[in-house]
Amino acid sequence: MRRDESGAAVSKSCSVLVVEDDPGVRELLRHVLTDEGNDVEVARDGQEMRAALDGRAFNAVIIDVRLPGAENGIALARQAEEQGCAVVLITGDHNHSEALARTGYPYLLKPFRVERLLEVTEDAVGAVSAPCRIRRRRDRTT
């Protein structure tokens, strides 16, 4: 673990790959995660996800369950997991949450709070023992 001049532990930002076909949602996720200080890349589909994972390591991959084409998000989740990444699924389909729960992957139902995204991603990363901590700005309560 890196340490600062005083010897205190310095948390490393998380590297996150977002797999989402909707450009607006993709950029919104990139914005909120980057704004917190994380290192974020995006992919539109399975092909781009695999290319990104071949190019570098990521701590976490956040995947939309519903993707166009033959590969759905759950199939991509398995591929990402095989590469040692923590996986978080997101979906707007509230009718299939039980089926999602059975996959064993953490998931978020839209709409969700940014804190919830950070919390679930951090938990998922912690479960695969990756040495990073999802970045958050200073908290302010409402």
Partner 1 sequence: MEHRATILIVDDEATLRSVFSDMMTRQGYRCITAANAVDALQIIESNLLELDMLVTDVRMPGALDGVALASKLREYQPEVAVLVITGYPESAAMKEAKARGYRVLEKPFRQAELEHAVAKELSERPGSDKTRKTTASVTPIEQARKDKAR
Cβ 50 to partner 1 shortest distance, Å: 24
> Which part of the chain contacts partner 1 (CB under 8 A), choosing from 5-13, 38-46, 72-80, 105-113?
105-113
| CB atoms closer than 10 angstroms to residue 125 | 24
Q: Which helix (H) or strand (E) holds 61?
A: strand 60-64
Q: Name 3's Cβ contacts closer than 8 Å, sequence gap at least 6.
A: 9, 10
Among 9, 56, 99, 110, binds partner 1 (CB under 8 A): 110
> Which part of the chain contacts partner 1 (CB under 8 A), choosing from 37-45, 46-54, 74-82, 104-112?
104-112
| Residues facing residue 40 across a β-bridge | 16
Tokens encoding 36: 């917190």
Q: Can you give the binding site for partner 1, defined by CB under 8 A?
A: 22, 24-25, 28-29, 31-32, 35, 90, 92, 97, 101, 104-116, 119-120, 123-124, 126-127, 137-142
